[in-house]
Structure 1
Amino acid sequence: MKEVILVNYTGRKGGGPINALEMAKGFLTSGHSVVAVLNKDISNKKDWESSGFEKIIFLDSFSSIFDLLKQVLFFRTLIGKKVVQPLQGYKIKFIYCPMVSLFTYRINRLFRKEKVCVVNHDPIPHSGDKGTLLLNLFGMQSLYRTADCIVLHSEKFLDFVKMQYGKEKQVQYVPLGPQNVKGRGVPKLNYNPDDINFLFFGRIEKYKGIEVLLKAYQKTKEQYSNTSLSIVGNGDFSSYSSLAAKVKDCTVVNQWIADEEVGDYFLGNNLVLVLPYLDATQSGPVLIAYQYGIPAIVSDTGGLKAQVNEKTGLLVEAGNVDSLAEAMLKVCHNPDWIPSTKEGIQEYLEQISWKHSAKRIVDFMDDLNESGDGNGG
């Protein structure tokens, strides 16, 4: 019977599909066969289909509350059979859950004897996070409590998660890997090559510190005119519209960015990513910027401190407008700093390869099997 790693991820878009695919490819390049359970509308579906996995099981999405209720009530028929039957000829090495979605826990429970490794992206929910309550209703906390291994992408929260779930040996730190985003190779924004071009990229959320960014940029602009700010991302921007309108050379692209266009926003000269988060675990946009050799200015909070060092960017005090403005002006007055970070960025990316991370997870799960530790499904 062929042994496979079962990747259980039923989300559709955002950073989840990228992280799930890259880790699955990491397992594959490490010599392990992979079967994936995915949403049929996952944004990078073609990449999954062309990556050489053993089998992919696509599940139907829900487009209304009625559809969701139907899947909940008739889970065994609508989802369970579609997952279990195609896997009857395989031996599952372990189940890997790269991010929790609504049916992650219930799909795992179809294979109660198998060991489970789950990634906890946000051990402490972001301020204003509305999705955690719904996920908890669908068993997220039960998933973490019963998991044989919890993976964190931020080393800062190891002790917190160990205490929260009573797991001493089963909580492991594995850095978030390169995002490997795509683009069409045509810049989406016209960055002036004579300016220092600051870029915010990501969902518009209260904890992202957009107000701090706009105020800091305004201070920067008053002292150094050859600058621009671009804010790109989906979400409610209404709270910041009036402030943004008062700032010169500020471009706002307030919409969902398709996967195949993400990289095109990172094409330009003298680009610096700015993420003034008020609280955070780790950040996908930092790694996207690194992919394009772009340094980052980020808040000194949560797991961001592990992603940015003196060779790859600058750290500022979270929520402090003056601290951020000072860092932005530092770059403006020393533009040669931007290309000087490329070597440090490359070194960091080499340290966090998905293949290396996949091997660490497999080795840990093998050790659990040999020692008999874990929760046993």
Structure 2
Amino acid sequence: MQKKILITFLYKEGAGPVFTLEMARGLAQNGCEIHALLSSNIANKKDWVNEKAFKSVTFIETGTRKTAIQATMAFFFKEKLVLKRKFQNQTFDYIISTFYHPWSTTVFKCFKVTKTIVICHDPIHHSGVGLLEKWLTTHYIKAANDIIVLTQSFIPIVEKRFGYSKEHIHYMRHGRMSTYKQCAITPLTDCKNINFLFFGRIEDYKGLFILAEAYKKLTQSHPNISLTVAGSGDFSKYHSIFKELPRVKIVNQYIADKDIDDYFNVPNTILVLPYLDASQSGVIPIALEYGIPIIASNTGGLKEQMDNGNLGLFSIPGDSNSLMKQMEYFLKYPDFYAKERKKAFIYLQNLNWDIVTQKIIQI
């Protein structure tokens, strides 16, 4: 029997728009009837509008940072009533919320649905998350009938922390992010000149101080390396330490999807994730898509996300010497780079969305 699914995502940028679109396409490939409720400001709006595999796509105004209060008032006093009327004659098998949003639990109540499912990306909050956000995200997760985690080892954590029984917690792999790749992959040249890449939003838990210390030590014996740090967020506390480092490029701004190629399709690039703590990373699937080798901290679900440690190298969280040694490994053993690329492309076949979304259909 064909599943009728409403997918909701109410933010506009980051990895969420691509993750949600790819998942929706995977479910459609598996014969599901897909409807979507999205922010009118979503970054990949054109892709949603042009996708013929979906039954319907509805956009609502979520505002900007400057207009968030007005948009919230409009939603609670007008938009939710419009949604209820529009869908009053429809019943969905599932509502699937791919990412938390402050309106999410109210949105759930606007529809007739058999089961509400949320994807829990971070069952353990990152260091630095405020009390209000912790309370809101906990309330959001507890409002669902079933939970999807992207890391298998998080099942007992969700079971204990949120009070769900195991039959209501489901593991699904983080699928491919192939939409990001705009061009053919640049062929490998050599590994004499390595560029290390940090990519993503600037957050305290991501260990930029550790990366700076490790890179500084490495430059003392290896003049043929460079470092790129690209992402939005407050970089002010890191500015003084990074400005002293040689061959460093800082791009402190939001990186649009169309510009991803400029960072991941560069020969001899290695992604570095020096996180102090983490659940998983949306940057890992992007790197895999380009065949970019990865060095990550051995924390949270990062190792599981990298084929249970069969891909990449791992450092001790918060240890700059450990990170430096793993970065240096690629310089000492240049053949390792090509081997990692080959393994990444093979592993990607397990992450096709028509495969990974079968877990949802089995719920």
TM-score (norm 2): 0.91
Q: CA deviation at 1:163?
A: 1.1
Secondary structure in 2 matching 1:251: strand
* Cα pair 2:195 2:227 within 8 Å, conserved: yes
Work out the CA distance in 2 between the residues paired with 1:221 and 1:212.
14
* Cα pair 1:311 1:341 within 8 Å, conserved: no
Instruction: Give the structure 1 partner of residue 329 of structure 2.
Output: 330
* Cα pair 1:122 1:281 within 8 Å, conserved: yes
Secondary structure in 1 matching 2:38: strand
Deviations 1:114-153 (A, max 9, x none): 31110011111111234x724744xx33332231111111
* Cα pair 2:93 2:113 within 8 Å, conserved: no
Matched, 1:282 2:280: yes
Work out the CA distance in 2 between the residues paired with 1:3 and 1:178.
23
Instruction: Give the structure 1 partner of residue 48 of structure 2.
Output: 48
Q: CA RMSD in A?
A: 2.3
* Cα pair 1:57 1:82 within 8 Å, conserved: no
Instruction: Give the structure 2 partner of residue 32 of structure 1.
Output: 32
Instruction: Give the structure 2 partner of residue 160 of structure 1.
Output: 157
Q: CA deviation at 1:87?
A: 2.5
Identity %: 33
What does residue range 236-275 of structure 1 map to in structure 2 within 5 Å?
236-275=234-273
Secondary structure in 1 matching 2:284: helix
Unpaired runs of 5+ residues, structure 1, are: 365-377
Instruction: Give the structure 2 partner of residue 312 of structure 1.
Output: 311
Work out the CA distance in 2 between the residues paired with 1:281 and 1:156.
10
What does residue range 1-377 of structure 1 map to in structure 2 within 5 Å?
4-52=4-52, 53-63=54-64, 68-73=68-73, 75=75, 77-111=77-111, 113-130=113-130, 133-134=132-133, 136-137=135-136, 140-168=137-165, 169-182=167-180, 185=183, 194-308=192-306, 311-364=310-363
Q: CA deviation at 1:111?
A: 2.8
* Cα pair 2:5 2:96 within 8 Å, conserved: yes
Work out the CA distance in 2 between the residues paired with 1:59 and 1:20.
16
Q: 1:298 to 1:70 in 2, by over 3 A?
A: same
Secondary structure in 2 matching 1:7: strand
Letter in 2 for 1:146: A
Work out the CA distance in 2 between the residues paired with 1:56 and 1:62.
18
* Cα pair 1:37 1:83 within 8 Å, conserved: no
Letter in 2 for 1:56: V
Work out the CA distance in 1 between the residues paired with 2:141 and 2:182.
39
Q: CA deviation at 1:229?
A: 0.8
Work out the CA distance in 2 between the residues paired with 1:192 and 1:82.
58
Q: How many residues align?
A: 356
* Cα pair 1:207 1:278 within 8 Å, conserved: yes
Work out the CA distance in 1 between the residues paired with 2:240 and 2:356.
44
Q: 1:184 to 1:176 in 2, by over 3 A?
A: closer
Q: CA deviation at 1:90?
A: 3.3
* Cα pair 1:101 1:135 within 8 Å, conserved: no
* Cα pair 2:61 2:71 within 8 Å, conserved: no
Q: 1:110 to 1:43 in 2, by over 3 A?
A: same
Secondary structure in 1 matching 2:271: strand
Work out the CA distance in 2 between the residues paired with 1:336 and 1:75.
55
Q: CA deviation at 1:61?
A: 2.1
Secondary structure in 2 matching 1:301: coil
* Cα pair 2:30 2:354 within 8 Å, conserved: yes
Q: CA deviation at 1:194?
A: 4.0
